[in-house]
Structure 1
Amino acid sequence: MNKYQASVRVKGQSVKTAVFADSPIHARLILQYQFGMDSIVSYPTAINEVAAIKTLTPDQQRIKSMRNRVKQDQAAVKAERARKKIKAGQEQLAQSNQIQS
């Protein structure tokens, strides 16, 4: 069973509601049965439940920040190497243009 959310009209007001159903069609049928045939404002869409994020201990936070710093440093090294390669290629191109002139 999945959780579906849809807007339905109740006494002239639009209200968001959720139902558990096997498919969007099944959810629509349930809502029509509960609220009436012309009460559905928006088609039912699946809701993905997000698990709660666990808080980290101070040691785990420290390790995570160290890992993030390592990743940032690795990306900086990679970018610097790419800049050096581009600069070397540009110098080589400039030298070959001077030789041809």
Structure 2
Amino acid sequence: MHDYIATIRVKGAVVKTVVHAESSVHARLLLQYQYGWNSIVTSPTLAENITPKTPEQQRIDSLKGTKDRAADALAAERQRQKISKAQHALTAAKKSSRVTTIVP
């Protein structure tokens, strides 16, 4: 038996998992049976010489992920504020164009 690593989707979350199987086809069939037909994101690959990350490496990866999520949130907030400002300007422009003055 060999270890195969595959990325699967479980309830919307993407996770990596290890499966013990005779071949990559057998690993794929086991994953499809256990998690569902369309759950496999990446095909199972043989897990040779894969060493686990040290706690320091895991901490750095976690901090990188946090940084990326914060950058995405910042960009989304800036875009939301830009759209809101444009909507307010559009509303103000529509109100000012509706006001007509009648000169006798």
Length-normalised TM-score, structure 1: 0.48
The structure in which a higher percent of residues are strand is 2
Which of 1 and 2 has greater Rg? Answer: 1
